[in-house]
């Protein structure tokens, strides 16, 4: 079985769902937005659009360069939204009840670099760690 197409489709589904919720129900995303981000409503709107566009680009069958560009875009997107996830964790932990707690936030923080790598691997921008160079 070729795993990259499977990974592409799983990522595309993940980002389609996330993109849909960014557009249809932006309130939870606005709540975790760091205060220094300007125009938070527009940022949430455009991040949803970026997720949908990246997901479509990742699975379209006719252009490998477009697939790679979408994969790079999704990897950079995951990197850029990391501050919102960190902000969410800090604000949540500061709540009197501890918020969602470490069993939610720590795996979420650990998943972010995995999402970045998975986008790059699924989009064929890296073969690491599964391919050893012949040199």
Q: pLDDT tens-digit profile of 78-115?
A: 998 888 888 889 988 988 888 888 898 899 899 999 99
Domain limits at 108? Answer: 3-122
Which pLDDT belongs to residue 78?
93
Residue 131 belongs to a domain: no
Residue 92 belongs to a domain: yes
Nearest to 57 by CA among 82, 75, 39, 43: 75
**Structure-block tokens of residue 44:** 């949430």
Residue 132 belongs to a domain: no
The answer to whether the peptide bond before residue 129 is cis (omega within 30 degrees of 0) is yes
What does 58-78 look like in DSSP terms, one character per residue?
Answer: HH-SS-HHHHHHHHHHHHHHH
Answer for the pair 11, 55: CB distance below 8 angstroms, yes or no.
yes
Q: pLDDT tens-digit profile of 49-86?
A: 999 999 999 999 899 999 999 999 999 999 988 888 88
- What is the total count of domains within the chain? 1
pTM of the entire structure? 0.86
């Amino acid at each position: 079985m070729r795993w990259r197409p499977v990974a592409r489709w799983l990522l595309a589904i993940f980002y389609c769902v996330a993109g849909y919720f960014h557009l249809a129900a932006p309130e939870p995303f606005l709540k975790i937005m760091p205060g220094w981000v300007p125009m938070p409503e527009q940022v949430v709107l455009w991040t949803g659009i970026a997720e949908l566009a990246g997901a479509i680009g990742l699975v379209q069958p006719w252009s490998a360069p477009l697939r790679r560009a979408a994969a790079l875009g999704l990897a950079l997107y995951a990197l850029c939204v990391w501050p919102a996830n960190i902000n969410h964790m800090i604000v949540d932990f500061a709540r009197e009840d501890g918020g969602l707690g470490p069993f939610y936030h720590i795996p979420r923080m650990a998943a972010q670099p995995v999402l970045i790598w998975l986008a790059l691997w699924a989009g064929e921008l890296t073969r690491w760690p599964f391919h050893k160079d012949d040199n």
